[in-house]
Amino acid sequence: MRIAAALLCSLATLAVAGSAHAAPQRFAVLIAAHDGGEGLPRLRYAGRDATRLADVLVDVGGFARADILSVVDGDADVVRDLLEALRRRVEETKARGNEAIVVVYYSGHAQDGRLRLGDDTFAMSELRALLEDSGADVRLAFVDACGAGAITREKGATLAAPFVVKVDDALQTTGQVIIASSSRDEVSQESDEIQGSFFTHYLTTGLRGDADRDRDGQVTLDEAYAYAYGRTVAATAETRAGAQHPTYDFDLKGRGDVVLTSPGGADVVVQFPGELEGRYFVVDLDRQLFVAEVDKQKGGTSQIALPRGQYAIKKRLDSHLLMTRVQARAKGTIVVDERSMETVSFADDWAKGSPIAGVSSRIDQAVGFSFAVGGATSAVVATDGVDDGGLFPAVASFAGRARFHHLLRSQLTLDVDVAFGGTRSTRVVDGGALGTAAFDVDVRQAQAGGAILWEQPLGEVVGLDGITVLAGPRLSGLLFTHTFIGDVRPAGLAEQNFLTFTPGLEGAVAWSFSSWGHLEVGGRAMYLPYTVDSLRHLAVVEGFATVWLDL
């Protein structure tokens, strides 16, 4: 009752603000830290928790991607920089006469009143102070630091050193709410099954709509906290580390409620009708991400909001799964019908979600999809020293590329590309005693490749913000076509072609010129096995420049 009353009180501020100003500006800073320094286990899902929350805030929380600043595995200075950037944005917003709401989220280890950022630490009191200094009208902080076990692992502080440090007496601020994922003497936990921490998992599920008790299409802070609290306690009760009880600290004045998300207005609403009962997991198939878990009680209707996409909904039973695929490509409501779900064995689960963790220095780079156009120039190097008479001239190409971030694991990017190019060249054929002939040819070259690239933002390493280096292996198919032109042509032969596969390495440097795009220059070195006249081991070297649109 205490929290309900407190939150009701706190909501008044936003409600009043909402009546005076139609659309308060919303900002977020998301901090994820997998490493807590010496003696603490590396967390698996901290980055992924941040990604999930970012998705929810964008999908149904009214946040713009560009207004979500994030850092994964950064040190205290990076966190201070982000909070300073947040303060400046709030200041600009206030200067324009608008109201501002900020959300600060932390997922990682904590110990002795300090957030553990690798070998660095960041005092909770400093976080509180910087949050207060942000100048936002409403300031919300979610601190999640925990995890343990074979399936659940202890995530943050040791039992003797709880992470929620003096919430009651150190973080009480007007217009501010702090919610922690566990109480003073508990550990927070993360789970391999849900591929994230319990608290963030249920918080994000609730924000997507399952916490909307009054079915008004909006999830308030009160509803979200109540939902996350109840689900987290229930889910962790049977774990080795024991039940985990989220806590809160608030100081809000005014009337009304803080609306965190509006799932009722989302493009796609998945509805679980009254007759359904049990635990339903929702997996984003495009990205193999768990996005929600609905613990459905018989009788009431539950619903969650999702962005457009392709999802799997599965229900776990004792001996098997019930699964169905949902194509949510258009605006509307999808009603889950358990009768149409297929029975699938645990081994054949086709929507397990991949264990991805981490976000990049910009959340909009860390999730989703990018594509690019650009140009490339390639040349084949005759490593055997054989003069092949211009069989492989240098070719300029137009390239298109697409990139899927963090599909496989943190900082790994799946990159696919196609390129088409051509040139006009002359093939010189030495026939020995038959003499020499020169044939003019139109050379066309088509290439399709895939690469797995490691992304390393240099801002996290050497402080070069906006610069990222990428490198990794690549495999491509390369098609050469020579069309004979001109007056002198080989007898009865109009065209020659050659298709081969070229494994190699790729490296690039990217410069982010805005939140939505970046430039990239790089090079490739590939092995080209030529097998027609004889087996030759050739090398393809290629340079490219591309302009990327980051979605």
Partner 1 sequence: MRAAVPALAAVVVALAGCGNLSQEDLLFRAGVPAKQAVAVVPPGTEDEVDDALSTRAQGLQATRRQAVEEACDGDLLCETRNLARGFNGFTFFLLDIVDAISALPPTERSPGRRVWGPHFDADQGATFRFEMNRADDGATFSFCLHAARGFVGRAPAVDCDVESDEESGLQRVLTGSFAPSGIAGDSARLGKGTMRLETERLNRLNGEARFARVVDFAFDHTDGQTDIHIDMLGASVDEVERDAAYDFTRSAAGDGTLAFDVFADLVPGDGLLGRRQLERVRLRAAWLADKAGRAIGVVDGGNAGEQTFTIEQCWDTGLATVYRRDVGGEENGDVGQCAVEAPALD
Residues pairing with 74 in the sheet:
none
Which amino acid would we find at residue 42?
R
Query: Considering the complex, what minimum distance in angstroms separates the CB of residue 526 from partner 1?
Result: 13
**Mode of pairing for the β-strands spanning 247-251 and 321-328:** unpaired
Which one, 274 or 486, has the nearer CB to partner 1? 486
Which one, 160 or 535, has the nearer CB to partner 1? 535
Q: How far apart are the C-alpha atoms of 199 and 139, rounded to whole Å?
A: 19
Task: Tell me the C-alpha to C-alpha distance, in Å, between residue 326 and each of 85, 204, 288, 338, 511.
Answer: 39, 20, 14, 13, 37
- Range in contact with partner 1 (rule: CB under 8 A) among 19-27, 194-202, 348-356, 384-392: 384-392
3-state SS assignment for residue 416: strand
Query: Considering the complex, what minimum distance in angstroms separates the CB of residue 533 from partner 1?
Result: 5
Query: Considering the complex, what minimum distance in angstroms separates the CB of residue 146 from partner 1?
Result: 32
Which one, 423 or 515, has the nearer CB to partner 1? 423
Those residues whose C-beta lies under 8 Å from the C-beta of residue 359, and which sit 6 or more positions away, are: 30, 32, 47, 50, 51, 54, 70, 72, 366, 367, 406
Query: Considering the complex, what minimum distance in angstroms separates the CB of residue 94 from partner 1?
Result: 54
Query: Considering the complex, what minimum distance in angstroms separates the CB of residue 386 from partner 1?
Result: 10
Dihedral angle, C-alpha 454, 153, 42, 405, nearest 10 °: 20
Task: Count CB neighbours of 493 within 10 A.
Answer: 10
Token pair in block for residue 211:
């916490």
Those residues whose C-beta lies under 8 Å from the C-beta of residue 514, and which sit 6 or more positions away, are: none
Which one, 450 or 543, has the nearer CB to partner 1? 450
Query: Considering the complex, what minimum distance in angstroms separates the CB of residue 430 from partner 1?
Result: 8
Query: Considering the complex, what minimum distance in angstroms separates the CB of residue 374 from partner 1?
Result: 26
Which one, 301 or 426, has the nearer CB to partner 1? 426
Which one, 23 or 434, has the nearer CB to partner 1? 434
Q: How far apart are the C-alpha atoms of 157 and 160, rounded to whole Å?
A: 8
Residues pairing with 346 in the sheet:
none
Which x/- pattern over 521-540 shows residues binding partner 1 (rule: CB under 8 A)? --------xxxxxx------
Interacting residues with partner 1 between 470 and 509 (CB under 8 A): 475, 477, 480, 482, 487-493, 496-501
Interacting residues with partner 1 between 302 and 341 (CB under 8 A): none
Which one, 184 or 489, has the nearer CB to partner 1? 489
For position 388 contacting partner 1 by CB under 8 A, the verdict is yes
Interacting residues with partner 1 between 422 and 481 (CB under 8 A): 427, 429-439, 475, 477, 480
For position 280 contacting partner 1 by CB under 8 A, the verdict is no
Query: Considering the complex, what minimum distance in angstroms separates the CB of residue 394 from partner 1?
Result: 16
Q: How far apart are the C-alpha atoms of 390 and 410, rounded to whole Å?
A: 44
Token pair in block for residue 340:
């149409």
Query: Considering the complex, what minimum distance in angstroms separates the CB of residue 45 from partner 1?
Result: 23
Query: Considering the complex, what minimum distance in angstroms separates the CB of residue 506 from partner 1?
Result: 18
Residues pairing with 446 in the sheet:
420, 479
Which one, 30 or 391, has the nearer CB to partner 1? 391
Query: Considering the complex, what minimum distance in angstroms separates the CB of residue 438 from partner 1?
Result: 8
Which one, 90 or 540, has the nearer CB to partner 1? 540
- Site for partner 1 (CB under 8 A): which residue of 18, 242, 389, 422? 389
Number of residues in contact with partner 1, rule: CB under 8 A? 38
Which one, 332 or 432, has the nearer CB to partner 1? 432
Taking phi first (over 0 means left), then psi (-120 to 50 degrees means alpha), and beta for anything else, what does residue 274 get? alpha
Query: Considering the complex, what minimum distance in angstroms separates the CB of residue 415 from partner 1?
Result: 18
Query: Considering the complex, what minimum distance in angstroms separates the CB of residue 387 from partner 1?
Result: 10
Burial 147-168 (b: 16+ CB within 10 A, else e): bbeeebbbbbbeeeebbbbebe
Q: How far apart are the C-alpha atoms of 251 and 246, rounded to whole Å?
A: 17
Which one, 301 or 436, has the nearer CB to partner 1? 436
Chain centroid to CA 288: how far?
Answer: 11
Pinpoint the alpha helices (H) of 135-291: 167-170, 198-205, 221-236
For position 385 contacting partner 1 by CB under 8 A, the verdict is no
Q: In this structure, are residues 268 and 302 in contact, taking their beta carbons and an 8 Å threshold?
A: no
- Site for partner 1 (CB under 8 A): which residue of 104, 391, 508, 526? 391
Task: Tell me the C-alpha to C-alpha distance, in Å, between residue 550 and each of 132, 357, 517.
Answer: 33, 19, 5
Which one, 20 or 493, has the nearer CB to partner 1? 493
Q: In this structure, are residues 14 and 62 in contact, taking their beta carbons and an 8 Å threshold?
A: no
Token pair in block for residue 121:
């630490």
Which x/- pattern over 335-374 shows residues binding partner 1 (rule: CB under 8 A)? ----------------------------------------
Q: Residue for token digits 């009788």?
A: 299
Which one, 346 or 501, has the nearer CB to partner 1? 501
Which residues bind to partner 1, rule: CB under 8 A? 388-389, 391, 427, 429-439, 475, 477, 480, 482, 487-493, 496-501, 529-534
